[in-house]
Amino acid sequence: MDGALEELEGAVRSLSLERDLSGIMDSPLGRRGARRSLRSEPFFIGVAGGTASGKTTVCDLIIQRLQEQSVVMLAQDSFYKPLTPEERANVKTYNFDKPEAFDCQALMECMLELKAGRPYDVPIYDFATHSRSCETRRVMPADVVVLEGILVLHMEEIREMLNMKVYVDTDDDVRLARRIQRDVAVRGRDVAGVIEQYTKFVKPAFDQYVAPSRKFADVIIPWARGDNVVAIDLITEHIRMKLQQPDLRRIYPNLEVIPSNFQIRGMHTIIRDHTTHHADFVFYADRLLRLVVEAGLGYLPFSEKIVLTPTGYQYVGVDFAKKLCGVSIIRSGESMENALRACCKGVKIGKILVHREKVWSQMPRVASDPKLAPSKSAPVHLEANGAATAADAARAPSPLGPSRRASAAEEAPADGSAHGGAAGTSARPDGSGSNSGSNSGSPARIPPLPAEHRRTSSSGVVAAGEGTPWMARRPSSGVVTGQRRQVEQELIYEKLPTDIAERFVMLMDPILGTGRSAARAIQVLLDKGVDESKILFLTVIAAPEGIRRICGAYPRLRVLTSEIDEGMEDLHIVPGVGEWGDRYFCC
């Protein structure tokens, strides 16, 4: 009876604990903790070099100096493929130094599991029997993961996951002497067999695979004496510096975060507060935008310049970078234009609009039949001269909102300018326009999109071809449903300086969420001939998802932000700031 009561009490306690944990995870605090755990990624270090070059010794010294950090070590030798009975019978003719001897798929799976914050059972390879032991070694997630092996830098899929690549360089004769000592004492080989294997397989594989991989290394350590303490100290200090940075900053060297202080945190507190008045939001947002722009200008190249002061002495300073322009991503990015103009007198500013939405289109087209031409019943009707009427444009979905379709149709400019109007159209700061001309007796016409602004969808449907207004979208995906099809249409509008390919570009958008629009805008700049290294993306708040998309896809581009938020939730950054464009431009 007492035993039954104890089991019942234990079950009640477990149910209560489970309910409490479930409540915590469903709470905002629990969700924030889960999002933070997704942001943490280990710092992967790859150590390569020839056989017996001292890779394991280098790794051990690095780990000893990082005692205050969580560090684990992986050996590529643990992932040797077990030999078949036929290969084991002719083991003297088997090449253990070729890439095919390793189970690369299992090694990749191990690294991906550790990157995701999950433990992994690493196999134990028996060099005496040339097979895997029935036992495994459980490796737990850590801040730093050190991977050592002869082909770590040769295998491209492994190399791309490394954040730091080290090559240990040792003379051939020293490596041979060390290998003989190790294989005889540890792996049960005889001297003659070791020398035969070295000359037949190890040395040729080193010349073919290992030595060429030296060009991929970030650091090359001379290790003939086995006591290069300076190199170990430099590597250790670099790792400590990386671990002190935000999680994403360790992984992406092209990510820059403005050092935080109470002033910046205070301004973020005000603009994030949902009760903040519109005027206060604009005031403190402008202050933050100015700080971001000023910090971004510091990453542009400068040249030395000597000037003569009024006292008659020389001052050695620097000259600002020439050929600079700004590009704002409409519409939130336009809030950063004044900050750039205040810092750079007379700077040229371009605009890019990226808009996506799902609509029903009267363009039945079977995706499996590329030869099927689009239907003649297009969503926007063109007149004989290739222009569209204002009524057609008003029926088309507008990126500016349903209430502003007509004004968008009236103000579409012939030269592709962002806020300039056609004849008789006056532009307003918020992008709307009013028709003051004498064309009331005839429908307003929208000129064709200039050739440089046209985009073609991946399915081959011309979205903005000759005679099509710039407000027409391109269908990028969807399914056929009878005579109608739901498609995701994309609008790309650009107004950029003609010589933008020769300029440094500050791409501006105060919010970096998923990064889809930013990536599309960057691609527009690259298509215009802008060098990737000359693009600096400025944002006030960034989500980890957008940082991964932009920094990973464009490693030579630099991203600068003032704060990194926890993540995305229902297509919104959390904790976030809300809709920046609405809060900044609308009262």
Task: Select from 3.30.1950.10, 1.10.10.10, 3.30.420.40, 3.40.50.2020 the CATH code of 262-349+497-585.
Answer: 3.40.50.2020
| 259 DSSP assignment | P
* pLDDT of 584 strictly over 90: yes
Beta bridge partners of 72: 145
* pLDDT of 64 strictly over 90: no
Higher-confidence position of 328 and 226 = 328
Contact predicate 45/39, CB 8 Å: no
Contact predicate 121/138, CB 8 Å: yes
What local confidence, expressed as pLDDT, does residue 93 receive?
84
Task: Give the chain's length.
Answer: 587
* pLDDT of 447 strictly over 70: no
Per-residue pLDDT tens over the stretch 386-413: 333 334 444 444 444 443 333 333 333 3
* pLDDT of 414 strictly over 50: no
What local confidence, expressed as pLDDT, does residue 174 receive?
86
- The C-alpha atoms of residue 217 and residue 38 are separated, in whole angstroms, by 29
Per-residue pLDDT tens over the stretch 288-342: 999 999 999 999 888 889 999 999 999 999 888 888 999 999 889 999 999 999 9
Per-residue pLDDT tens over the stretch 243-278: 777 677 778 889 999 988 899 999 999 999 999 999
Per the structure block, which two tokens stand in for 511?
A: 């919010």
Q: At what angle do helices 55-65 and 229-244 cross, to 10 degrees?
A: 50
- Superfamily of 39-244 according to CATH: P-loop containing nucleotide triphosphate hydrolases (3.40.50.300)
**Please, which residues have CB within 8 angstroms of residue 316's CB and are 6 or more apart in sequence?**
304, 305, 306
Rg (C-alpha) for the chain, rounded Å, is: 31
**Please, which residues have CB within 8 angstroms of residue 448's CB and are 6 or more apart in sequence?**
386, 387, 466, 467, 468, 469
Alpha helices (runs of H) in 66-218, residue ranges in sequence order? 85-89, 104-115, 156-159, 172-185, 191-197, 203-205
- The C-alpha atoms of residue 27 and residue 11 are separated, in whole angstroms, by 24
Three-state DSSP class for residue 85: helix
What local confidence, expressed as pLDDT, does residue 380 receive?
38
| 126 phi/psi in degrees, rounded to 5 | -95, 110
Per the structure block, which two tokens stand in for 60?
A: 């051990």
Mean pLDDT, residues 186-200: 82
Mean pLDDT, residues 430-458: 39
State the average pLDDT for the chain.
75
What local confidence, expressed as pLDDT, does residue 240 receive?
85
What local confidence, expressed as pLDDT, does residue 24 receive?
42
- The C-alpha atoms of residue 380 and residue 332 are separated, in whole angstroms, by 28
Contact predicate 512/252, CB 8 Å: no
Per the structure block, which two tokens stand in for 200?
A: 């037949």
Contact predicate 333/508, CB 8 Å: yes
What local confidence, expressed as pLDDT, does residue 179 receive?
86
Mean pLDDT, residues 443-455: 41
Residue spans per domain, the chain: 39-244, 262-349+497-585, 363-482
Total-model pTM: 0.57
Q: Please, which pLDDT band fits residue 480 given cuts at 50, 70 and 90?
A: very low
Higher-confidence position of 356 and 497 = 497
The reply to whether 39-244 and 262-349+497-585 are identical in fold is yes
| 472 phi/psi in degrees, rounded to 5 | -70, 140
The winner for highest mean pLDDT among 145-149, 182-186, 430-434 is 145-149
**Segment holding 477, helix H or strand E:** strand 474-481
Higher-confidence position of 318 and 475 = 318
Beta bridge partners of 493: 353
Higher-confidence position of 147 and 364 = 147
* pLDDT of 384 strictly over 80: no
Higher-confidence position of 437 and 254 = 254
| Per-residue exposure over 545-570, b if at least 16 CB sit within 10 Å of its own CB, e if not | bbbbbbbeebeebbbbbbbbbbbbee
Region at 438 (left for phi over 0; alpha for psi -120 to 50; beta for the rest): alpha
What local confidence, expressed as pLDDT, does residue 488 receive?
55
What local confidence, expressed as pLDDT, does residue 269 receive?
95
* pLDDT of 434 strictly over 60: no
What local confidence, expressed as pLDDT, does residue 250 receive?
75
Mean pLDDT, residues 507-528: 92
Mean pLDDT, residues 126-150: 88
What local confidence, expressed as pLDDT, does residue 349 receive?
94
Please count the CA atoms within 13 angstroms of the CA of 501 that sit on its side-chain side: 5
- The C-alpha atoms of residue 554 and residue 509 are separated, in whole angstroms, by 17
- The C-alpha atoms of residue 263 and residue 287 are separated, in whole angstroms, by 10
Per-residue pLDDT tens over the stretch 69-124: 788 899 999 999 988 888 888 888 888 889 999 999 999 999 999 988 899 999 99
What local confidence, expressed as pLDDT, does residue 547 receive?
93
The residue type at 92: K
Contact predicate 549/539, CB 8 Å: no
